[in-house]
Chains A and B, each alone.
Chain A
Amino acid sequence: MKEVVRQCSLVVRKELLHLWRGKARLVATGAFAFANLVVFSFAGGLHGEAMRTNAAGFLWVGILLASTLALGESFRVEVQNQALEAMVLLPVHPAAIFYGKAIGNFVLLSLVGAVMVPCSIVLFDAVPVGGLGRLFLTIPFGAAAISAPGTMHAALSCRARSRDVLLPLLLFPLVVPGLVAAVQATQLCFLGDAMGEYGSWLTVLAAYCVVQWGLGGLLFSHIVEE
Chain B
Amino acid sequence: MTLGMRVSGGVAVLLWVLGMAAGLTLAPPEEHMSDLVRIMFVHVPVAWAAMATFTVALVASVGWLATHRWGWDHLLDASLEVGVLLGVLLSVQGSVWGYPTWGTWWTWDPRLTSVAVMVLSFLGILALRAFVDEPEKRASWSAAASILAWGSVPFTYFCVKVMNSLHQKQTPWGAMHPDMLKALLLNTATITLLTVWMLMARYQLARTELRRELGT
Contact = CB atoms under 8 A, between A and B. Distances in A.
Given A152-B144, A222-B140, A160 B149 contact: no
Interface stretch (A117-125, A161-169, A189-197): A161-169
A149 B128 contact: no
Majority-rule SS of A interface residues? helix
A173 B121 CA distance: 5
Interface in B135-165: 136-137, 140-141, 143-145, 147-149, 151-152, 155
B145 A153 contact: yes
B102 to A, nearest CB: 21
A177 B155 contact: yes
B131 A176 contact: no
25 contacts: A149-B148, A156-B128, A156-B145, A159-B132, A160-B128, A160-B141, A163-B131, A166-B127, A166-B131, A169-B123, A169-B124, A170-B124, A172-B120, A173-B123, A173-B149, A173-B152, A174-B121, A212-B148, A215-B148, A219-B144, A219-B147, A219-B148, A222-B141, A222-B143, A223-B144
Q: Say whether chain B's binding surface is mostly helix, strand, loop, or mixed.
A: helix
Interface size class of B (residues with CB under 8 A): 20 to 34
Interface in B107-145: 117-118, 120-121, 123-125, 127-128, 131-133, 136-137, 140-141, 143-145
Interface of A: 149, 152-153, 156-157, 159-163, 165-166, 169-170, 172-174, 176-177, 211-212, 215, 219, 222-223, 226
B145 A215 contact: no
Contact of A169 (B127, B140, B147, B155): B127
A120 to B, nearest CB: 22
Contacts of A173: 117-118, 120-121, 123-124, 149, 152
A166 B128 contact: yes
Given A161-B131, A173-B152, 6 more contacts: A149-B148, A156-B141, A159-B137, A160-B128, A161-B132, A222-B65
Contacts of A172: 120
